[in-house]
Amino acid sequence: MARKVFFSFKYDDVQRAMNVRNSNVISGAIKSGFIDKADFENVEQQGDKAIQKWIDEQLNGTSVTVVLVGAKTDESKWVDYEIKKSLERGNGLLTIDISKIADLSRRTTDCCTLRVKGYKHYLWNNNNGRDNLGAWIETAAKAAGH
């Protein structure tokens, strides 16, 4: 079943997040929540209300939220907002540690402690994210009744 999936991440981890997005392992899924740097900066300059509006619009029609967790994701008020709004919507939810995906400089980081109680947490590298992301999303969707 095709799903619209919202990807939540701290913009500092955009290179790692794009690696997940571009892995093409979610056939038929519409991937929401990605924004290029120029558009992100434009929305950011408009203030908090504009950012909230953009997030709310991106979440519209989604059934699952995938939180991509890096070194400082737990410091992002916007990831917190995205999680809160996703739970209010009844989205399926899962978190994935992306800290060990190498960035363009081939560096990795350590993962922060962000986890959402009651929801599954996966390790992209150790749990074969490339092979399993679609199944993880389906599991989260079914757990939420979608």
Q: What is the CATH number of domain 4-143?
A: 3.40.50.450
Sketch the domain layout of the chain as residue ranges: 4-143
Give tens-digit pLDDT for 62-101.
Answer: 999 999 999 999 999 999 999 999 999 999 999 999 999 9
Give tens-digit pLDDT for 90-110.
Answer: 999 999 999 999 988 999 999
* Secondary structure (3-state) at 40: helix
- Secondary structure, 3-state, 95-140: EEECCCCCCCCCCCCCCCCCCCCCCCEEECCCCCHHHHHHHHHHHH
Kindly give the residue spans of alpha helices, DSSP state H, lying in the chain. 14-21, 37-45, 48-59, 77-89, 129-143
